Structure 1
């Protein structure tokens, strides 16, 4: 038996060429070629054709074995993705990121609120000084402090700027993702989602991936604390607390 299909096919070509040579010799009057030789060569061709067919079947079986092996390896890897802890780890990281960003937002809002209080005090002081002494716009500077809601300055100490939470969230995304091609592609998609229908993008994650839904849904307390627009966005994003979590008995379905 030939070792492979190519060898079998080469032997068949060789056998057919030999028969053609014998046939041509007979046609040219060569009396040394016997009928037995012609018959034997034809039989050899038939045998070579069988060897080609056998090699083709063997090759087909080998290809199928390779396909089965490849499919089994892919199935094993996919099963690991489905049943393994990888998604749990990602979901945990997602929850950590949401919590961290929420904490950042809270700290920024608290700092800006303090800045607003200082700015209001300075505005009152400036107004009082301008009325009584016709002072300039930064009348409070004579006391070593001046500013407004965007920045407050203290002589000999420094300045406190208002923080833009939008800029900070952009900085978080870029700082985390800029270093790789995949990260930069994610940044591009991030921009597209934000400019398009971001609530629906979040809802797709919540609807399609249970592990993510558990991390992205808000608590009953968080939903209650949100303003009207926040409640509407949370609802559109599919992040409302589940009825059980909200202390509401889920609807019963008869049948």
Structure 2
């Protein structure tokens, strides 16, 4: 048998494999893929580990096929950075199909677990920069696809992780940053004190919310006099970027 015929036959074998699981993402199909990161936030350069679970929801046996460990030839990793779609991670950049070397049988109700460290896969070196920018990343894994980039396989659930840059601002650093922002507005900071500081999330970002109030109000309270209304200064500071916004009480 000629080399060209072998190549065609090997491609046909792989294609049949993918077709056999091609529409498993539908609820009525037997195989599902669930992924979960080992944590929600990572520092730049830290291992980004995903735990994968294949589960056979059918009443019959399902066969999983992979290539050798470390070369995930039957996977496509779709990455979004702050909702911007990046190039997918794919190993099948070869001219010929890759024969599966690992087979795993899943009985009815059975599951198969594996781990993937995204930024340590030896075949995606050129893509490591994807995770070197502080951002929110969404990841979807597809099991089963072919060289012509036609997806014929099952899609995982999407997961979102955060890659953090420098350390978050502490309360003390946030207060100092807020004071500087107020001074830059030519406001006499000597007339104010820090009344309250608390952290919260806004649109997925961590924020310090600091309230400055007039110092004279403290004396008014102490003397039992009516307290001056308004006059507060509200400062929002992004814990990650230190971006600051100021609002004034009425």
Structure (1/2) with the larger helix percentage: 1
Structure (1/2) with the larger strand percentage: 2
Q: Which has the larger radius of gyration?
A: 1
TM bucket normalised to smaller: under 0.3
Q: TM (normalized to structure 1)?
A: 0.23
